Amino acid sequence: MKFFNCEAICLWLLVVSGVLWGLIGLFDFNLVVYLVGPSWAMSVIYVVFGLAALCALFCWKSSSSKKK
């Protein structure tokens, strides 16, 4: 069984969230609300994106400190 690379998953989630925020900023279109509606699932999706950003931040900090 092959394990998933946590950094790669965080990176893809960051790319998806960036595209979603781009749609909101450029076209005032919220794809998450369009797909799941204004419900608790929308909040869960945004929390997952936020956790991915924190994960990527900590991975970036740990990798930059290893290079020194």
Does this model's pTM top 0.85? no
Structure tokens of 21? 């925020």
pLDDT (0 to 100) of residue 67: 60
For residue range 8-49, list pLDDT tens digits in order: 888 899 999 999 999 999 999 999 999 999 999 999 999 999
Half-sphere exposure of 52 (CA within 13 A, CB side): 20
| Euclidean distance between CA atoms 68 and 9, whole angstroms | 26
| Euclidean distance between CA atoms 32 and 42, whole angstroms | 6
Show me where the domains of the chain are located: 6-57
pLDDT (0 to 100) of residue 13: 94
